[in-house]
Structure 1
Amino acid sequence: MPDPGRVTPPAAGASPAVTTSTARRHWALAFAAFFLIIFAWSMAAPYDGTPDEREHIVRAAGVAAGQIAPPPAAAKKGTGAFQTVPGGLVREQCWQFKKEVSAACAQPPGSDDTPTRAGTGAGRYFPAYYALVGAPTVLWPGWSGVLLARMISALCCAALLACAYVVIRNRSRRGLMMGALVVVTTPMAVHMASAVNPNGLEIAAGIAFFSAVIPLLLGPPGPRRGLIVLVGISALLLAVLRQTGPLWLATAFIAFAFPLRRSNLLGLLRDRAAQLWAGGIVLATLVVVAWSVRQQTSDLGNYSADRLTYGQAALREADRWRGYLDQIVGVTSWLDTRMPAPPYLIWQLVAGALLLIGVVWGSTLDRWRLLVLLGGGVAVPSLMQIALVNESGFVTQGRYMLPMLVGVLLYAAWIAEQRGFEIARARSFTRLAVLLLLPIQLFCLAYTMVRWQNGLPANIGLSSLNPLAGDWHPVVGSVIPLLSASLGLVLFGWLVWTTRSTASDDPTPTIERSDTESTELFRPAGTHLQSAGAQGGLRST
């Protein structure tokens, strides 16, 4: 009798089965790669170096000090709340939106722990994220606390992205979804993941969620415990991190649940873990909605400059999408650091090609699902912006749509794989994405470091692009972030480059194991389970 859990050698031509130890090794390597890339940005950035970071740090420090639900007040642009935090965290802006000015004019965070009342636009936000990252900012309110808070956020994002990598590596039949992972992990996604800002964790959760929910709901029946756990965790995060989370979850449900594979639906309805996770997500969503009503989180403040008709607002919003697309790739710092045009064009062409592949290879139902996802990620936020423009102004940014739009590209890749996109072409696309896009990641970091350290003159030249020079430098120096990012990108590129397709013309390998191993992590979609005593019978968990 074969040992429980033993992986039977596959037939000739079949892809090797993935053991738990192999999956864990892949996860550890991917986690290291993503953390090195993300934390490089964390180390490189000045205090309040990303959009609204000081606002979120003040909120995090307040939550960590027990100020969970401060009274709503006109703390910033008519919204937000006041929190009492260590004085070393309260710093005024002097260089944001002035791209020619370096961060040298700013006072760094200090160790002053004098209780100081500070207004923050994030003061009404749901406290879950801030409870996660806030303690270091209260215990060590100088650079140590800020970097530790950033590191906690970076660790969480890296863990989610590593899970997405393992799922895609083991569930992607032809390797095209791995190329999609490279595309959706944009410099802006990494930039936000490096900061104290729930938007970064939301983007990472969106990538993990769609990487798992697509094979869970649309893939062939098979082992799903790991997928359920990842979908549950990432969906729970999406529900509580920002107000748009319930919209992303509802859109994904509409897109993938109708029509659902009957075998998947029945299996999920009977699965106790799926029931518990679904109940937890619904409960968390209701709690967040109740919090939003009580704390008036829908009051975004007043940034409006003009009174516009709906038609005027619609035309302006349509024109702003050119900027949104660049922001999705990476308009960094406080949206005041725009790279030269070629990196944006290259990234958008690769993303557009992937979407086109999905549309061309997809069926009518596939295209309908893509349309629903695009509607949730593009049309709904734009319509909301148009409707509220005279109350709040144009406050939408490209990064806000990223948690939903990553699902569009991941699903486009899934479509092409399921409809027979050739393995050789999928491998070529994925490797081309590595060669074209990962260098842009490093260039974007270096370019943003130049902006922070020296400012960007109006007539910038190649001689100005020296990330090791300037009148301001990161607290860890300028070399360490660049070295960390380089190592992480090389490791990530190697992991993607060496990923093998699981597709095969031969029957899929048989895996023999006991019921006690139902928690094994992320087995390939085509893997069938066979009990030790069965002769040719198939059983799924």
Structure 2
Amino acid sequence: MSRVDQPPHTAPLPRVTGTTGVAGRPSSPRRRWWTAFALLSLLGGLWALADPVFSVPDEPAHAVYAAAAVRGELWAPTTGIDTTVTVPATYANASTAAACFIYDGTVPAGCAELFVAQPGTAEVVTTAGRYPPAYYLFAGSATLVADGATAIYLMRFLTVLVCAALLASAFLSVSERRSPWPLTGLVLACTPMVLFFTGAVNPQGPELAAGIALWASALALFPPPGPAGDGDDAPRVAPRLVLRCLAAMAALALIRPLSVVWLGLIVGVVLLARATGPRLVALLRDRWMLLGGLAVGAMVAMTAVWVLARDALRQWSRPVDLEISRAALFSVSKLDGELAEMVGVFGWLDNAAPGLVQLLWIGAVAVLAVLAAAVGTRRERLALVAVVAISVVMPVVSELSSYRESAFAWQGRYILAFSAGLTVLSGYLLADRFPDDIGWRVCRGLVVAAGVAHLVAFIGNLNRYVHGIDSFWFLDEPGWRPPLPAWLLIAAFILGTAAAVAGLLRVLRGRQDPAPLPAVPAG
């Protein structure tokens, strides 16, 4: 039979692994990263503008230390938790500038002192002067080119860029899976509290972003075995995943005193859930992983030495005289409040997100975790239990170890970099184990609910500072005016959220119905 007489047939169609672009072609990873980075930067930047100067927890202390760090005040004299540094005189009253409205959600922010540039220098006390200096050297660079409130907003925007880069990398890792679930797990890991700290002068934001990024990329290094994933059948390590993991690990190794603990716990749980012998061998043979791992190990060692030498884990002195049994009961009773703080309790714990936000988010996380437990293997279920158990036990143990000196100081955000992994892990466990049609519907509902929750949280937070929590839009005169008009911030956040949700739904739709590729004749 001649070639022209052969029956036409088509070559096998390759699987589409990315979101689709023009004419059904997969969009490039670079383009997806930049798109995610732009949207996250927009949303984080809007949070930065919607919060008055020093309305974020401990922001005055962090801003003072940032201004000191870039001027060489890295090891200033410290007594207890107080470090005395020499900084521009502008920061002399930083700790009291917002005192009139923090802790009282009914008071608008307009009563605060104007934070304006002052000539000369001053000795100022900060409680952040014992922390690892990497973040402060980076954020503090803004104080070399600006002063007053402008410098605070510039430091916030620098923080936004770091967080957006880490979270965009996390998005890239989960979007490479052929299932909608990992992406949905990442969306639920990014609670309103994460975006709140993304736009703040506080190393908490980069810690949260780095923790979520490590969960997303480390789990992607260990796909399930069998036809549903690469697993043991394809031990080759993707360099892009290795680099994303190393970037997140480096950030955690340097950012905060407890970040190295979350780094170790995240790696441990990931290995418990998904590690296999061939995959571990492949990772250990990878040059980038080996060299990068050594570099991260050196960073962890340096941070550990710094933390010990500077006594960076010491809390403020608030002695409490209670029996250990009653102290344990009180610490356990705080856990529900700490769960709410992981979702959204803004300001200086004076501005809880509306109940609708808490309900939507906790319900969505519960749905994801229960489904994952139902389909997971024994090891994977044990990993899920480990995340929940550590998230519950560690705050109690930490408080009981020091409550006689520092009372009950733990907040939900302290462990969120680790606890957020519950949804990311659940998403990976559900990948390729749930019917696509049902998975698409559930994931679509969860993503839309998350978008609504973010929007409600943002508007509620802005209303607290403009009017106070007892007053409302259009009914009361504004008691504070943000740098941009409040209506413009809300409109921009609506558009940004809508664009993000639409993009996520498009990616999810691509997981259900990959764009068909044209048939290729064999001849």
The corresponding residue for 1:11 is 12
The corresponding residue for 1:498 is 506
Report matched runs for 1:266-285 at 5 Å. 266-285=281-300
> Structure 2: how far apart are the matches of 1:318 and 1:385?
10
> Structure 2: how far apart are the matches of 1:54 and 1:231?
32
One-letter amino acid of the counterpart of residue 477, structure 1: P
> Structure 1: how far apart are the matches of 2:17 and 2:307?
49
| Contact 2:237-2:286 within 8 A present in 1 as well | no
| Contact 2:82-2:129 within 8 A present in 1 as well | yes
Structure 2 residue 121 is the aligned partner of structure 1 residue 112: no
The corresponding residue for 2:148 is 142
| Contact 1:71-1:81 within 8 A present in 2 as well | yes
> Structure 2: how far apart are the matches of 1:10 and 1:97?
66
The corresponding residue for 1:521 is none
* CA gap 1:247/1:80 in 2 versus in 1, 3 angstroms: same
1:402-440, Cα deviation, whole Å (9 max, x unpaired):
10011111111111115x112222211221122212122
The corresponding residue for 2:464 is 451
Secondary structure class of the residue paired with 2:221: helix
Structure 2 residue 136 is the aligned partner of structure 1 residue 130: yes
Q: CA deviation at 1:137?
A: 2.2
| Contact 2:214-2:266 within 8 A present in 1 as well | no
Q: CA deviation at 1:222?
A: 4.0
> Structure 2: how far apart are the matches of 1:381 and 1:96?
25
> Structure 2: how far apart are the matches of 1:468 and 1:216?
53
> Structure 2: how far apart are the matches of 1:183 and 1:242?
23
Structure 2 residue 206 is the aligned partner of structure 1 residue 201: yes
Secondary structure class of the residue paired with 2:431: helix
> Structure 1: how far apart are the matches of 2:242 and 2:63?
32
| Contact 2:169-2:244 within 8 A present in 1 as well | yes
Which residue of 494, 506, 516 maps to 1:486? 494
Secondary structure class of the residue paired with 1:85: strand
Which residue of 410, 421, 429 maps to 2:434? 421
Which residue of 219, 238, 251 maps to 1:224? 238
Structure 2 residue 454 is the aligned partner of structure 1 residue 441: yes
| Contact 2:369-2:422 within 8 A present in 1 as well | yes
- Please say which of residues 194-203 and 220-229 is displaced more in the overlay: 220-229
> Structure 2: how far apart are the matches of 1:465 and 1:447?
10
Structure 2 residue 65 is the aligned partner of structure 1 residue 59: yes
| Contact 1:47-1:108 within 8 A present in 2 as well | no
| Contact 1:72-1:296 within 8 A present in 2 as well | no
One-letter amino acid of the counterpart of residue 120, structure 1: T
Q: CA deviation at 1:482?
A: 1.8
| Contact 1:109-1:143 within 8 A present in 2 as well | yes
* CA gap 1:113/1:66 in 2 versus in 1, 3 angstroms: farther
Q: CA deviation at 1:502?
A: 7.6
| Contact 2:17-2:176 within 8 A present in 1 as well | no
One-letter amino acid of the counterpart of residue 488, structure 1: G
The corresponding residue for 1:297 is 312
Which residue of 157, 161, 171 maps to 1:155? 161
Which residue of 158, 164, 174 maps to 1:168? 174
Which residue of 379, 389, 393 maps to 1:365? 379
* CA gap 1:253/1:87 in 2 versus in 1, 3 angstroms: same
Q: CA deviation at 1:283?
A: 0.8
Report matched runs for 1:312-323 at 5 Å. 312-323=326-337
Report matched runs for 1:294-443 at 5 Å. 294-304=309-319, 306-418=320-432, 420-443=433-456
> Structure 1: how far apart are the matches of 2:485 and 2:18?
44
- Please say which of residues 245-254 and 127-136 is displaced more in the overlay: 245-254
One-letter amino acid of the counterpart of residue 212, structure 2: I
One-letter amino acid of the counterpart of residue 405, structure 2: E
> Structure 2: how far apart are the matches of 1:97 and 1:293?
32
Structure 2, gaps ≥5 residues long = 1-9, 20-24, 225-229, 518-523
| Contact 2:192-2:343 within 8 A present in 1 as well | yes
Secondary structure class of the residue paired with 2:101: coil
Q: CA deviation at 1:466?
A: 4.9
One-letter amino acid of the counterpart of residue 185, structure 2: A
Which residue of 278, 284, 289 maps to 1:263? 278
Structure 1, gaps ≥5 residues long = 1-8, 510-541
Secondary structure class of the residue paired with 1:246: helix
Q: CA deviation at 1:56?
A: 0.5
| Contact 1:14-1:505 within 8 A present in 2 as well | no
> Structure 1: how far apart are the matches of 2:11 and 2:370?
35
Q: Which has the higher contact order (CA 8 A, sep 6+)?
A: 1
Structure 2 residue 266 is the aligned partner of structure 1 residue 252: yes
1:223-276, Cα deviation, whole Å (9 max, x unpaired):
511111111111111121112212212212322334721221111111111011
Sequence identity, in percent? 26
